[in-house]
Amino acid sequence: MVQRAYFIVHGKEDFEKHPNLLGLLIRVSKNGVPLLDGNGNFIPVSRYTDGIERGVTVVYYTSGDYMIKGIFEVASDRLDESDRRRAKEWKRSIQFIIRPILKSDDGVDFRKLIQKLDLFRHLKNPEKDYRMAIRGKNYIRPLDSHDFEIIEKALQSSVKANRAKLPKDEIMTRKYGCHGEGREHKMLKEWVAYHPESIGLTNVQKVDVEHDFISGDAADIFFEIRGDRYVVVEIETDYPLPGCYQALKYRVLQCAEMGKNINSSNVEAVLVAKTIPPDVRDVCLRYRIRSVRAPVLQKS
């Protein structure tokens, strides 16, 4: 769980025009002149605005379609009025640069989560009355760990569902390039998947070839081992050094999806390669990646 997370309402059109920006309303006089505090700073509409700063996590909700677009990290301090990165049409706002941490193309329908969240428990009829509470960009509320995890899991499910819709050949092209997966690589991958003992694995309960992660990455092989253990395997037939970093990435992704420390002993990374040169061996030793020399398979 992140240390600080906020639920922030924005407009649908704002998100479509500026998906990398966050604009928070400021108070203005009856004549439309921005009000300033004693230090000459804009006075925000929401009292929680002062908590929005670099490094903070925000859940981005658009009121026009009732959708949670994603979880973002505030990636900048407040943008100065002369900063060219600011959205010019948001003249009366405090603005920040944001970057996506977990973003779904389809988004998550917030109405389906209302009953599970504590955010609006103070309302008599949360499913109906919450719409009145969160109109406009002035609605900002801190999220507790319970609500954040519910929203995070809903977004993760949405991302996985979107990925499942992709044609298999498109997924393979993303990973292996326009020429697709080589025959030798495919043979070795399938052989190791059906012979886990060849890389020293026992008590295998489940195996998944081309295992999908929420990030859109796919591990060559994913083993589920008895005792809440997992093994991600990267197969390399030509240039093994990039495979070290791929295996490392898959291990971190699996730890993150499980909600464990990225160095958890429950997840092991294995590199299977035709050769293990000294530079590859050094990287593997440094980052606890087990390297295994690939068996020589007879081509049919």
- The enclosing domain of 180 has a CATH number of 3.40.1350.10
Domains of the chain: total: 2
Residue 298 counted as domain residue: no
pLDDT of 60 reads: 94
Are both 17 and 160 inside the same structural domain?
yes
pLDDT of 3 reads: 66
Alpha carbon distance 98, 69 (integer Å): 13
Tokens coding 183: 């025959």
Q: At which of 106, 130, 164 does a domain end?
A: 164
Question: At CA 25, angle to CA 77 and CA 84, rounded to 5?
Answer: 45
Are both 66 and 176 inside the same structural domain?
no
Residue 93 counted as domain residue: yes
Are both 120 and 98 inside the same structural domain?
yes
Are both 85 and 185 inside the same structural domain?
no
What residue numbers bound the domain in which 68 lies? 5-164
Residue 121 counted as domain residue: yes
Residue 299 counted as domain residue: no
Residue 254 counted as domain residue: yes
Residue 269 counted as domain residue: yes
pLDDT of 6 reads: 94
Q: Is 222 within 8 Å of 232 (Cβ atoms)?
A: yes
CATH number of the domain that 92 lies in?
3.10.590.10
pLDDT of 134 reads: 77
Query: In whole angstroms, what separates CA 82 from the centre of its chain?
Result: 32
pLDDT of 58 reads: 94
Are both 13 and 112 inside the same structural domain?
yes
Residue numbers in the chain where pLDDT is lower than 70: 1-3, 135-137, 163-180, 298-300
Q: Is 207 within 8 Å of 196 (Cβ atoms)?
A: yes
Are both 73 and 159 inside the same structural domain?
yes
Backbone dihedral angles phi then psi of residue 281, each to the nearest 5 degrees: -60, -40
Look up the pTM and report it. Answer: 0.58
Are both 194 and 272 inside the same structural domain?
yes
Residue 87 counted as domain residue: yes
Residue 125 counted as domain residue: yes
Q: At which of 164, 190, 217 does a domain end?
A: 164
pLDDT of 120 reads: 83
pLDDT of 273 reads: 93
